Structure 1
């Protein structure tokens, strides 16, 4: 047989698989199937138990909610399906893969939005907290109303104000008028009989003044005498 024939003959043979590898693969497949069956059995059992719990909860008039322990997403979905079938609502809270849990609520006793937010944030919730939040919201509404009234009052006040400040616009004229008024007040008013101090000064002596008076009388007498003679 030539070399080419021997090569072709070896290629026609299928590749051989080690017996140990076959056993290993078989065991892995069996373990996978076993795990799947175990998971299915766990889910079936959980569903049956959950249906009993939800049915009992629905028949209890004293309870308004039922809290489940932390569950994975698959089991939480089962709880949610059963709750919806029973006419209830279910909400999940907590951190995923840490402490995520679910609570089933009856529709006639659903939580308010404040309680849901508190539970989602991992905060405590009770009647005292609910009353405090209601009082806080009422106070906020009052403050908001007062702020709105204040804004409206300020708006009306601004509308009543003139657009232009005429005093500032004509400030230079007002200043000039005030200055003139001040000058008129300090200036001597002659119409009321006041004589400037310069006119009040008489530089003549007493003797000269008396001589001037006698001279005026003499001239007056001479004038009257000349007038009588001519008549």
Structure 2
């Protein structure tokens, strides 16, 4: 006997199946096929029901949406397939395994984002809810616009050239008035105390001062006498 034959002969033979076991396996297989056909027939009838329901929905001009009751994923997939063929919007809402359902919408009455978000949250939707959401969104937009305009106005604020108006938003109105009294801005003199820029003398006093300066200047320019120069 060769080596291969000895190995095969030493191996355990597969367990034999009795006729009773063969009959049980055959019965289980037949039952599986039977259930499979029953499920297929059930899905077929459900698909026909969905087609009839969607067809009726499309023919009803007053209907804008239709809600199916909660069901398993297998049946929801059938509804999605039929809705796609019928050119109808189909959206699923609710919690999987609890109350997941499908709602249909006609193409000319497509749901808004507000409606979809409301239904996804599990809240009730109606025209009053939609109107209130639009008003809230409009109010928020107006508040944001007013806030932006206020900020822009503050950023573009340019103080006037008067100290009492220019700095009163920083140091206060009283302090600004005091600063305005002490200092006057002028393009020729710059910012110096007002006492240094105003001549407080009268006209007569001014003329007298001018004549005195002139006499002093004339006296200084007179040449000295020879003897006076030697003496000096």
TM bucket normalised to smaller: 0.5 to 0.7
Match of residue 20 from structure 1: 20
Tell me the distance in 2 between the aligned counterparts of 1:11 and 1:112.
Answer: 72
Q: Structure 1 residue 14: deviation in Å?
A: 5.6
* Structure with greater Cα Rg: 1
Tell me the distance in 2 between the aligned counterparts of 1:156 and 1:29.
Answer: 85
The 5-angstrom pairing of residues 186-197 of structure 1 reads: none
Gapped runs of 5+ residues in structure 2? 161-166, 172-178, 180-232
Q: How large is the RMSD of aligned CA atoms in angstroms?
A: 3.0
Task: Give the helix-richer structure, 1 or 2.
Answer: 1
The 5-angstrom pairing of residues 72-87 of structure 1 reads: 72-87=72-87
Q: Say which SS state the counterpart of residue 116 (structure 1) adopts.
A: helix
Across the two proteins, how many residue pairs are aligned to each other?
162
Q: Say which SS state the counterpart of residue 45 (structure 2) adopts.
A: helix
Question: Which string of whole-angstrom CA distances, capped at 9 and with x for unpartnered residues, describes residues 154-181 of structure 1?
Answer: 2123x759xxx9xx9xxxxx9xxxxxxx
Tell me the distance in 1 between the aligned counterparts of 2:53 and 2:84.
Answer: 14
TM-score relative to the length of structure 1: 0.62
Match of residue 143 from structure 1: 143
Q: Structure 1 residue 75: deviation in Å?
A: 1.4
Tell me the distance in 1 between the aligned counterparts of 2:25 and 2:159.
Answer: 93
Match of residue 30 from structure 2: 30
Question: Which string of whole-angstrom CA distances, capped at 9 and with x for unpartnered residues, describes residues 62-99 of structure 1?
Answer: 11111111121121121112112112110011111111
Tell me the distance in 2 between the aligned counterparts of 1:89 and 1:160.
Answer: 60
The 5-angstrom pairing of residues 54-93 of structure 1 reads: 54-93=54-93
Report which structure shows greater RCO (CA 8 Å, sep ≥6): 1
Match of residue 189 from structure 2: none
Gapped runs of 5+ residues in structure 1? 169-173, 175-231
Tell me the distance in 2 between the aligned counterparts of 1:29 and 1:68.
Answer: 35
